[in-house]
Structure 1
Amino acid sequence: MNSVIFIVLALFAINILAAPLDDSKIAQIISYENENLGIDGYKFSFETSDGTKRSEEATLKNIGKDNEAISVRGTISWLGADGITYTINFLADENGYQPEGDHIPKA
């Protein structure tokens, strides 16, 4: 009797695991650009079907000097669960990560 219950439960588990996934809620990439600028930097952007967008560009500052640093500037936006589109503009450089957005508290 226990072996019959085990076999039934095993078949039930296999059936659940073999069921096709509903990927209708998985965002698809609808645009993507990527440009390697060599050792001087890069830039890329993408947009997904759920409304997420990101773009970023990096440049190397003070090339060959003691204070050489990479500077990355970009924007990301997404649609929140509350239906509001949130956007962050940011700069990341030798002074750290510096985000700005209407929803981010200001000092």
Structure 2
Amino acid sequence: MRKLIGFLSLITVITHIKGAPMPKPQDEIQQPQQPQQATTPIPILSQTDIVNPDGSFQFGYETGNGIKVDTVGTLKKVPVERFDDDGNKLRDSEEQITVHTGSFSYVSPEGIMITLNFVADENGFHPEGAHIPVWPGTNPAKQNPAS
């Protein structure tokens, strides 16, 4: 009998808990939806993608909205100094690297054609362009030889 009373008490408690009104969840805050603008695909006017067996390459494309990219990768041997664990110089050797030379251009939101020429080699990335700020005291002709 005790088991029956305990079981009925448990059922009563569960029924009251389940039957108790639960607070309604607040509606999720909806972010205003931005209207989707239809986009027109931009045509690719030309495209080049050549990879040579030696690792050199030529890559580029031009789109209908004025974007143009041209990059050439050439191989170059550069001297490399080697040292042992004690800092003693070992014989010099050479490593082959890929030098990236190229440019890209696009029309800015203000309608200005932006062109960036660059070289990336063992000395780093070297961009040149009329839109790049020049540090005071530097020679702009040296910074922008294409200008």
Bigger proportion of residues as helix: 1
1:22 maps to which of 25, 38, 50: 38
2:100 maps to which of 57, 72, 92: 72
Amino acid at match of 1:23: T
Deviating above 3 A after TM superposition, structure 1's stretches of 4 or more consecutive aligned residues are none
Structure possessing the higher relative contact order (Cα contacts under 8 Å, 6 or more residues apart): 1
How many residues are aligned here? 86
CA RMSD between the two structures: 2.0
Bigger proportion of residues as strand: 1
Amino acid at match of 1:70: T
* TM-score (normalised: structure 2): 0.53
Gaps of 5+ in 2: 1-35, 79-92, 136-147
* Equivalent in the alignment of 1:86: 114
Instruction: Give, in angstroms, the shift of residue 35 of structure 1.
Output: 1.1
1:62 aligns with 2:90: no
Distance 1:38 1:106, change over 3 A: farther
* TM-score (normalised: structure 1): 0.71
* Equivalent in the alignment of 1:48: 63
Gaps of 5+ in 1: 1-18
Identity of matched residues, % = 33
